[in-house]
Amino acid sequence: MQALTFGITDEQRTIQETTTRMLRPFEARRQEFERALREHGRVPEEFWTALAEAGLLGAFVPEEFGGTAMGLSALATAADAMASRGFGHPLFLLTGMDALCIARSGSASLQRRFLPRIASGALKLCFAITEANAGTNSFRMTTRAVRRGDSYVLDGEKTFITGMDQADYVLLVARSRSREEIERGGLPKTSCLSVFVVDCHTPGISLTPLPMRAIDGAAQWTVHFDGAEVPAENLVGEEHAGALAMFNTLNPERVLIAAGACGQTERLLEMSIAYASQRVVFGSRPIGAYQAVQHPLADLRIRLEAARAVTMKAAAAFDAGVDPSEAGTYANMAKYLATDLAIDAADRAIQTHGGSGFSEDVGVIGYWERTRLMRTAPISKEMILNFVGEHVLGLPRSY
Amino acid sequence: MKILATVKRVPDPETSIKVKPDGSGIVTDNVKWVINPFDEIAIEEALRIKEKVAGSEVVLVSIGGNAAPNDVKEQLRTGLAMGADGAILVVTDAALEPLVVARALAKLVETEKPDLVVMGKQAIDDDSNAAGQMLAELLGWPQATFASKVELSGDQKSATVIREVDGGLETLRFPLPGIVTADLRLNEPRYASLPGIMKARKKELKEIPIGDLEKAGLDVSGRTQLVKMEPPPKRQAGKLVESVDQLVELLHTEAKVI
């Protein structure tokens, strides 16, 4: 018999086990953990320390800077395992993405300054790209970064910035060339953005809270930049070449979102199966014996297997360094499949649980918003279909 | 000093086990395999000794398959990722009884020449609790089983072990080399971190076909035979009683325990 080489590797199984073990002390006091999330809107600090100790914050950090550079497959495996147990930290994904951006595009000195502290858990990072008038289309952004001596001066406004109050640094995408410059010089529209690592406590930065829902453990903010200065050495990659650095980061983000959605589906399925196995309504058979309850759950399990396969394929493609457009295709497909699946899982978990599905103590209802968010962000379902239609099917651009 | 720590692959204690209809064993499809929890404690103790005694080396030993469905390399890699220095796998797909395991380990002790062998007190699948004791007997080495605390003398020539025995604790001191089997409260095992998993990629996992040990005199014939496995009887539904008096009455007349 030929050995089965397709699927999860021994090493990935060990990473699952590592993640499960790391979570064990938090499982033991899950209610306390969830209360902290509800009451303070933050994940307890020990969770971050535990992520660092397990080595999960250094998955994109080279070994010379205290990481493992094990890559996206490892991180996606951990993100899935973590969500499967009902845990997560919004800044875990953001810090991971930012570390990747710095490791791939940052100068040697920038890497030396930031990567060791990211791997050790000393720094939390968030990410700021979205503006009120520049969401899906980042090239419409107006937040300016203008070079003045050894610094860049930042002016403008970013919105929907997750965890800006908790983070030490924000990876900021800003416009370093005005629209007029681009038009006048006949330059490609992609050559207008630059990426910076900005200290969140820089004078000239202020925050306005947003009344948002669906993200646990971090508030969202509008971030105002009023003449805030960032040292020129904090530029990530070449000036005006930020679009590339940014796109290199967005595909892995989609894969990690997909992995998290697979984990959420696993969690919702487990809760549904447990409930359906013991809940008796008529006679003596549990409701899980009814096909109307059983089949929707069986369907989720089948689709979960498929979504996981595509997610791990997307992660493997990224780690193997395949052409970004190909890696992007799988990343988009994984995000599409997994996030729609998670929404269905939340819907069916609520239906399986009946009225108690709406109780915060049962813990299913929170997934309704949490999973639904992912159909919209970080990229909408429709934009993925647009991408696949145009780039995979070769049909005319539809937007 | 050199420490051998044994690793047995067992079904995850958190998964529920089904017995095959013909009673020849358990259903292994979809079973998640882990390091025997007591062996994990043994590895942890070996690593703690290594951290205290400069220049020490921890070598893991397992006996089992090197390919699906009996592949135990994953569990050895996990042990390496915890921090062990190397691993030896005696390759066989046969299920071995404790005496054969002890004989095979004795063969490895001849070549590896460890100062200490640390083992789980038993494996949670068959609960034999025998291989450690048998190994000590075959080697003529001192043994301390059910260890809840292990301390080495300053010159690493002897070990002091506290054992959990019925009704209290027993303290033993014996000269090395020797055998220690780990009880539950000996330590809290660490888990493999990602850097550990990364380092484990470069560590040696040596495979020795069991035939090689047989050529060197290993006797693989057993003395026992698995006749039949059956699941425990299904537990009867409980009964709710109205009062303490009724409970006492039923314990007397129905359960006949008082």
A3 contact B CB<8A: yes
Residues of A whose CB is below 8 A from B9: none
Residue B79 lies in a domain: yes
Q: Domains for chain A: give ranges and CATH numbers.
A: 10-123 (1.10.540.10), 126-240 (2.40.110.10), 244-392 (1.20.140.10)
Number of helices (H) and strands (E), helices first, in chain B? 7, 11
Contact A10 B77 (CB under 8 A): yes
Contact A68 B195 (CB under 8 A): yes
From residue A202, alpha-carbon distances to A197, A231, B153 in Å are 11, 11, 57
Residues of B whose CB is below 8 A from A54: 191, 193-194
Instruction: Tell me how long chain B is.
Output: 258
From residue A201, alpha-carbon distances to A28, A97, A168, A306 in Å are 36, 21, 8, 44
- Asked if B177 and B141 count as a contact pair (C-beta separation under 8 A), the reply is yes
B78 contact A CB<8A: yes
Residue B236 lies in a domain: no
Residue B257 lies in a domain: no
Q: How many domains does chain B have?
A: 1
The 10s digit of each residue's pLDDT in A266-313 is 999 999 999 999 999 999 999 999 999 999 999 999 999 999 999 999
* Candidates B15, B44, B93, B194, partner chain A, best to mutate (most A CBs within 10 A): B194
Minimal C-alpha gap between A4 and chain B (Å)? 8
Strand order in the sheet with B158-165: B168-175, B158-165, B143-152, B178-182, B116-120, B2-6, B57-64, B86-91, B204-209
Contact A55 B193 (CB under 8 A): yes
Token pair, residue A323, equals 């052409």
Contact B197 A18 (CB under 8 A): yes
Mean pLDDT (chain A) is: 94
Chain A 35-64, CB below 8 Å of chain B: which residues?
A: 53-56, 58-59, 63
pTM of the predicted protein model: 0.90
ipTM: 0.88
Q: How confident is the model at residue A325 (pLDDT cuts 50, 70, 90)?
A: confident
Token pair, residue B28, equals 């292994």
Report d(CA B74, CA B87) in Å as an integer.
11
Q: Quick one: closest CA in B to A57, which residue? A: B194
pLDDT at A1 exceeding the cut of 80 = no
Q: Quick one: closest CA in A to B190, which residue? A: A21
Q: Quick one: closest CA in B to A5, which residue? A: B68
Give the structural domain span for B208: 2-230
Residue B13 lies in a domain: yes
Residue B250 lies in a domain: no
Per-residue confidence (pLDDT) for residue A163, from 0 to 100 = 96
Letter string b/e over residues A212-242, b meaning 16 or more CB atoms within 10 A of that residue's CB: eebbbbbbbbbbbbeebbbeeebbbbebbbb
Of A3, A13, A18, which is closest to B191 when you measure between CB atoms? A18
Token pair, residue B138, equals 């075959």
Per-residue confidence (pLDDT) for residue B237, from 0 to 100 = 76
Contacts of B225 (CB under 8 A, 6+ apart): none
Residues of A whose CB is below 8 A from B192: 14, 17-18
Per-10-residue mean pLDDT, chain B, length 258 = 97 90 90 95 98 96 93 95 98 94 98 98 95 98 97 96 93 97 97 95 97 96 92 83 91 88
- Asked if B124 and B40 count as a contact pair (C-beta separation under 8 A), the reply is no
Contacts of B220 (CB under 8 A, 6+ apart): B92, B94, B96, B100, B103, B104, B210, B214
pLDDT at A4 exceeding the cut of 70 = no
Q: How confident is the model at residue A346 (pLDDT cuts 50, 70, 90)?
A: very high
* Bridge partner list, B9: B35
Q: How confident is the model at residue A3 (pLDDT cuts 50, 70, 90)?
A: very low
DSSP for A253-301 reads: HHHHHHHHHHHHHHHHHHHHHHHHHH-B-STTSBGGGSHHHHHHHHHHH
Contact A74 B194 (CB under 8 A): yes
The 10s digit of each residue's pLDDT in A232-249 is 999 999 999 999 888 888
Residue B237 lies in a domain: no
Percent of chain A having pLDDT more than 70?
98
Token pair, residue A79, equals 């993100």
Contact A56 B194 (CB under 8 A): yes
Minimal C-alpha gap between B74 and chain A (Å)? 6
Minimal C-alpha gap between A10 and chain B (Å)? 6
Residue B235 lies in a domain: no
The CATH number given to whatever domain includes residue B72 is: 3.40.50.620
From residue B172, alpha-carbon distances to A70, B3, B20 in Å are 45, 19, 43
